[in-house]
Amino acid sequence: MRDGWAGAGAAEPSLGAMNASVPVRATGSWPRRLLAFLGPGYMVSVGYMDPGNWATDIAGGAQFGYTLLAVILLSNLMAVVLQALAARLGIATGRDLAQACRDAYPRPVGIALWLACEAAIIACDLAEVIGTAIALKLLFGLPLLLGAVLTGLDVLLILLLMRRGFRALEAFVIALLTIIFLCFAVQIAMAAPPIRAVLAGFVPSTTIVTDPAALYLAIGILGATVMPHNLYLHSSIVQTRAYPRDEAGRRSAIRFAVADSTIALTLALFVNAAILIMAAKVFHGSGHTGVQEIEEAHALLSPLLGIGLASTLFALALLASGLNSTVTATLAGQIVMEGFLRLRLPDWARRLLTRGLAIVPVVVVTGLYGEQGTARLLVLSQVVLSMQLPFAVIPLVSFVSDRRKMGAFVIPAWLTILSWTIAAVIVALNLKLLVDTVAGG
């Protein structure tokens, strides 16, 4: 590794012209200053409620009722810590995680990390394409194949938003997150789950570790906790704020950025918990414990609740989730390519390349094997994400715990121990999920 960065800044600003493009208040009340920093956390939270997480939450609720709510809570707490570390790295060093890896490791290692991250972004985009295509099918009756092809048109939306500035991107994401939140709030009100049972579900139960099926689903939930590209993304987009690039300004920015991501991830906790609670009340409560697929859940929701609107709200939330992932996948791809390689592609070219690499497998597999093949492709995409996770988490924790690189912003000893423990748990669970998936496949 090359020596420290503290105070040196990166050779080029992350995200180019968008870096330090959003003004912030230097004075005023804490809530008003926080308002200027709100946004990046919500963009990161998209990864915690994307279509790839839905099937696991549905299966967990249908099979085990409210028991696995404790796992969702634990996974969310882990996410809060790791995303706070990513924000700290970006603000303290002036580097995003990709730039930090490029500057810290020999070039062959950097290239290997870049290839692993690109594979993860394509896998994430794959899940997004499948989820959006399923939502279009449920809402409008479009064939899955046509829906997958239509998702390629979102490149026009991304280009429009990016030309309007970073706040426009954040406003788009927050608007769709609001739709997702409201859809599930209404569905939870319709399902009317027992409050006592829900609260009890957040308390860890021995069933989680003694029942092999429950343990497998718990690993699935924990394994999908931290999307690798979210760590690269967050370390970059926190730098869009025009805070003073001195020690006092950075320290203040870290506090506001951590508050932003913690609030946003609490919203993600509600959405993930709501999916599981709804599945527990509607499916587990009526004896439909084998529900696992998103489409199966959609088909049963309205008949079991007796309210026709329930399935429509479910599909609408899924569509909003898929569209939201578009923005974050595009930005993450740009950050990773520019950070590792110093290679800048036009936005439209970067987006078309990434989306094309995701659409082609979906179209081919759907054409050859039908919708069952697409379901298996979704599982494969989650396995690829799991494989890449250690290559993002381990460098991040090693950087923020290194005083040479962080200077005055190095994390304290207790947080270092906690961070390495979280990294070890997530990596171990992801490896077990990978082994189980390969063995089962």
- What is the tens place of the pLDDT at every residue in 99-112? 999 999 999 999 99
Higher pLDDT, 330 or 290: 290
* Per-residue pLDDT, 1: 41
CB within 8 Å of 196: residues ≥ 6 apart: none
Higher pLDDT, 254 or 367: 254
DSSP per position, 4-53: --TTT--SS-TTGGGTT-B---SSS-HHHHHHHH-SHHHHHHGGGSSHHH
Q: At what angle do helices 154-163 and 166-191 cross, to 10 degrees?
A: 120
List domains and CATH numbers for the chain.
19-439 (1.20.1740.10)
Q: How many CB atoms lie within 10 A of CB 226?
A: 27
Instruction: Point out which residues pair with 22 in neighbouring strands.
Output: 241
Say which range, 44-48, 273-277, 308-312, 353-357, has the weakest mean pLDDT: 353-357
Instruction: Point out which residues pair with 241 in neighbouring strands.
Output: 22
CB within 8 Å of 287: residues ≥ 6 apart: none
Which of 29-38, 212-221, 224-233, 372-381 is modeled with the greatest confidence?
A: 29-38
Higher pLDDT, 397 or 294: 397
Q: What is the mean pLDDT of residues 17-45?
A: 91
Banded pLDDT at 347 (limits 50, 70, 90)? low
Tokens 């000893």 locate to 413
Tokens 């790839």 locate to 52
Burial status of residue 211 (CB atoms within 10 A of its CB: 0-12, 13-18, 19 or more): middle
Q: How many CB atoms lie within 10 A of CB 354?
A: 22
The C-alpha atoms of residue 34 and residue 241 are separated, in whole angstroms, by 11
* Per-residue pLDDT, 437: 67
* Per-residue pLDDT, 2: 46
CA distances to 77, 150, 285, 370 from 415, in Å: 13, 45, 41, 48
Q: Which amino acid is at 238?
A: V
If you average pLDDT over every residue of the chain, what do you get? 87
- What is the tens place of the pLDDT at every residue in 141-163? 999 888 888 887 877 777 788 78
Q: Are 336 and 114 in contact (CB under 8 A)?
A: yes
Answer whether residue 117 shows pLDDT above 70: yes
Q: Cα angle vertex 426, ends 425, 431, to 5°?
A: 100
* Per-residue pLDDT, 9: 67
Instruction: Point out which residues pair with 27 in neighbouring strands.
Output: none
308 DSSP assignment: T
